[in-house]
Amino acid sequence: MGSQPQRVSALLRADEVKRAAREAGFAEVGLARPEPIPGDALRGWLARGNHGEMRWLARSAQARLDPRRVLAGCRTVIALGICHATSEHQLPSPFASFARTRDYHATFRDRFRRLRRALRAIAPHIDDYACCDSGLVMEKVWAARAGLGWQGKQTLLISPKHGAKLLLGAMLIDREVDHYDEPIPSRCGDCRRCVEACPTSALDGASLDARRCLAYWTIEAVHEVMPEDLRPHLSSVYGCDLCQRACPHNLPEHHCDDPRFAVRPFAHATLEELAISDEDSFAQSASGMSVARAGWEAVRRNARFMLANRDGDGEPANPKP
């Protein structure tokens, strides 16, 4: 009698999945069961209008709460983190820390591809869905569920190893693993330094009001007119690190020096250089960086706001993007 074909188990070994993720370039990896996320917090946040003009969050709310709506047959959420910080990030810059380097979306795409190939070498017919902050997955929730850290009062994930310097992504797969990770308790305690450091009161210790957030106005709402009462508080032309700087869990030694996140020369531009830049030079200097998505006019406008704040000259010329 001939040998029977070997049946392939759908169950994956957690240690193999984690090894594949680390070899693909992810600094942190955790595994969570794809149980739906209770929707009251998200629906309440949306009902209060705290998402500002990010209407796609409301349109995709149901999918964000249940990974099985995103990937049919989802059995595991692989939470993934990449540390973007390098020792050079200690130097001053007009850009938020994460934006001083190669656009992290490109790095995630590269590493997702490597992880996908590795998983298909283990399980040839595996199906997946991967994204980092521009897809239909609430990465911070899944990172917390998978034990990568806890969600701080500034709403960012705080990792015991990396502070809030992890960029997050997730991969949904249609296979179970033999071990899932557990959440870790918050270590924020009574600390409210991040809340108190926010100059526009965008944080209340439990959620963030995007309409008051400087990062929102310099990244997501760059084509809108920034409210006048927020402009004096700008600390970066793109993004904001004020709550991050205040967090005692963000330590100078929390850096990985990942070569893909080497600080680009444009990150050392002065406000004066940005304020008088032309569109062509901006496009060339910002090529491949996250800040390129904001566009020349918005960055130049924000630089002029910051110069006016610094020099006490009042409202800068051409305040609209």
Place of tokens 């590795």: 118
CA geometry: angle 313, 318, 321, nearest 5 deg = 125
As beta bridge partners, residue 12 has: 177
- The CA distances from residue 188 to 153, 154, 202, in Å, are 8, 10, 18
- The CA distances from residue 171 to 12, 70, 80, 142, 237, in Å, are 15, 11, 8, 10, 32
Place of tokens 């009574």: 190
Which residues are tagged catalytic?
Answer: 133
| Contacts with 70 (C-beta within 8 Å, 6 or more apart), sequence order | 63, 129, 135, 136, 137, 172
| Contacts with 182 (C-beta within 8 Å, 6 or more apart), sequence order | 147
Give 41-63 as a DSSP string: HHHHHHHTTTTTT-HHHHHTHHH
